[in-house]
Amino acid sequence: MHPANVASAAWVFAAAPSKAPFYAVGAALVAWAVLVAAFGVSHPEFPRSAGGARLVMLTTALLVAGTVTAAVLTAGGAGPKAQAAPPGAQPASGTLTLTADPAGALSYDARNASLKAGADAIRFVNRSPIAHNVTIAQGSRIVAATKTIVGTTTTLATKLAPGQYVFYCSVDAHRQGGMHGTLTVR
Ligand SMILES: [Cu+2]
Q: What is the pLDDT of residue 33?
A: 57
List CB contacts of 125: < 8 A, sequence separation 6 or more: 97, 98, 99, 100, 153
User: Would the pLDDT of 185 be above 90?
Assistant: yes
pLDDT mean over 111-118: 94
Return the higher-pLDDT residue of 62 and 158.
158
Q: pLDDT of 126-163, one tens digit each? A: 999 999 999 999 999 999 999 999 999 999 999 999 99
- Ligand 1 centroid to 163 CA: how many Å? 24
What's the alpha-carbon Rg for the chain, to the nearest Å? 28
User: Would the pLDDT of 29 be above 70?
Assistant: no
Neighbours of ion ligand 1 (CB under 5 A): 132, 169, 171, 174
- Ligand 1 centroid to 134 CA: how many Å? 8
The domain locations on the chain are: 3-82, 95-185
C-beta of residue 146 within 8 angstroms of C-beta of residue 134: yes
Alpha-carbon gap, residue 36 to 28, rounded angstroms: 12
User: Would the pLDDT of 2 be above 80?
Assistant: no
CATH fold, domain 95-185, is: Immunoglobulin-like (2.60.40)
C-beta of residue 156 within 8 angstroms of C-beta of residue 146: yes
